[in-house]
Structure 1
Amino acid sequence: MYNAARQGNKTVLKEALLDDLPPNLTNEKGDTLLMLAAYYGHADVVKLLIEHGADPNRLNDKRQSPLAGAVFKGLDSVIEVLLEGGADPEYGTPSAIQCLSMFKQEGKWAEKFETAPGRGKAKAVPQDASEERAPEKFKA
């Protein structure tokens, strides 16, 4: 499933989600399917995962958010989908807002980040709740 997210295989992921794949499935580094899809630039897969309940604010083990990763990589369509899906630009280390400054993108995104529906709404997920594992039928 992680490769499907990295490769943007929407069909495989959609079928798996309809067959009870946890939308916040997390790998050994704390990366969710959504984090991987976002980082590799697959806005359509990011949207699909959010529509199926994936948390756009789930941080990985390095406390990075999908939105900050998308800013780092300059993935405009992914940034748009994440903001529409409730991503909080203030959340994570560094936050997406801090990434805007680091990568000199304030002019491009500052206003949208200011008015983002999810701004200031992310809540920390307890460590033991951050790891969702795939049911046996999805392993292999």
Structure 2
Amino acid sequence: MRAVVQRVINADVQVEQEITGAIERGFVVLLGVEEEDDINDVKYMVDKISGLRIFEDEDEKMNLSLQDVGGQVLAVSQFTLLGDVRKGKRPSFTKAARPEKAKGLYDEFVNQMKNKGIPVGEGIFQADMLVRIYNDGPVTILLDSKKLF
């Protein structure tokens, strides 16, 4: 499972010109599910993202987590995070999970975040989405549940 986590002051996602999810201070999480992923990958991502200390404390050091600041998450499924362009210039998505599996694990990610008391806004799975991100910093973190980077 891969994620791009962006610290934001606000963000929203639109589908067919209708906002389906919006947040204030928090993280936009672009989430890609790999074919080999399972519930353990979801747990890793939820734990890592909910505890990620990239908000500044009173000394202006990145020391506070999403939970510390009462932040929110805008979760957007994004299979293109698994695009492999090592050969040629057209991405291969062979490692991306099939939609049925990906949706189940994406939904589990959202549910586990909510179970931690974190408000979550969402896009619509497999929809063509327009994501508006006001990146704060900018701060952007890449995560991989297999710890490839």
**What is the TM-score of this pair, normalised by structure 2?**
0.31
Q: Which has the higher contact order (CA 8 A, sep 6+)?
A: 2
Q: Who wins on radius of gyration, i.e. which is larger?
A: 2
Structure (1/2) with the larger strand percentage: 2
